[in-house]
Amino acid sequence: MICSRHPHRIQAAYPSLRAALLSAVLLATHTAHAARPMITNDARIVDAKACQLESWVKKNPDSTEIWALPACNFTGNLELTLGGAITLEAGHTQTTDVVLQGKSLFKAMDTNGWGIGLAAGTVLHPVADTRDWYAYVPTSFSFRDDAVVVHTNVGWVREGETRCNRLTWGLGTEVQLVEGTWLIAETFGQDQGKPFHQFGLRHWLVPDRVQLDATYGNRNRGRSRWFSLGLRLISVPFLP
């Protein structure tokens, strides 16, 4: 099947919604759940019998997205995520993305070692009346006693709007600057089109429980820049 890069049905109704949908596909394919603020996912999951909430505001040139992605690990090796986004654009506020994902690890990342997992899920776009399906393999590599971590993603997405199957990928790093503060940098994209890049900081207000982050991102040689501010909350194990 020949896949068009420029579907017009959605774009005609909402000028920047197509860009938002592309961003959401890439985001959901990689982020639910990467450790905020990274979009490239990691080979880690929330602690067994615990939950986390990742929330952030993402400011695009023509819209603002507000995301909330709660996730829980009830069994010990299956992190389930259900959440989504509302988008403010042209005076309208709408639910634009609903994400459902499961993620498990084949090998947990250990200090100065590596880890690998598998994630799969779906993203519903209610405004566009489309649904995307995706799966990907996250791998992580630890160096310098976890002070430097490198993540890679390879995956697949079935775009509901175009009915195209695409390869997705991501490459990211996180580097500890001082105790509790990390620098992140990454690039990610699909097998067609220009890739995206992002960099930013994360800081633990309460170690392993409350985290703040801020990022700037853009499309390579493009005009898809964004800024984001995020809050991540992680619970203690709440089940015996």
Tell me: pLDDT of 156 over 50.
Answer: yes
pLDDT at 24: 53
pLDDT score at 23: 53
Amino acid at 105: L
Does the residue 240 lie in any domain?
Answer: no
Residue 187 identity: T
Q: Which amino acid is at 189?
A: G
CB atoms under 10 Å from CB of 179, counted, come to 7
Per-residue model confidence as pLDDT tens digits over 38-87: 999 999 999 999 999 999 999 999 999 999 999 999 999 999 999 999 99
Range of weakest confidence among 48-57, 74-83, 143-152, 216-225? 216-225
Q: Percent of the chain at pLDDT above 90?
A: 78
Which residue matches tokens 């990691």?
Answer: 42
pLDDT at site 86: 96
Cβ contacts of residue 135 below 8 Å, gap of 6+?
118, 119, 120, 121, 155, 156
Sequence length of the chain is 240
For residue 7, pLDDT beyond 70: no
Per-residue confidence (pLDDT) for residue 13, from 0 to 100: 38
The pLDDT tens digits for 186-213 are 999 999 889 999 999 999 999 999 999 9
2 domain-assigned: no
CATH number of the structural domain spanning residue 19 = 2.40.160.40
Q: What average pLDDT does the segment 10-33 reach?
A: 47
Q: Is residue 157 part of a domain?
A: yes
Q: What angle (nearest 5°) sits at the alpha carbon of residue 230, between those of residues 206 and 19?
A: 160
Lowest mean pLDDT among 124-128, 169-173, 229-233: 124-128
Number of domains in the chain: 1
Share of the chain residues as helix, strand and coil, in percent rounded to the nearest 5: 10, 60, 35
**Contact call for residues 199 and 175 (beta carbons, < 8 A):** no
* Full domain range(s) for residue 201: 9-234
R_g of the chain, CA atoms, integer Å: 17
Per-residue confidence (pLDDT) for residue 238, from 0 to 100: 86
Residue 15 pLDDT grade (very low, low, confident, very high; cuts 50, 70, 90): very low
Is residue 26 domain-resident? yes
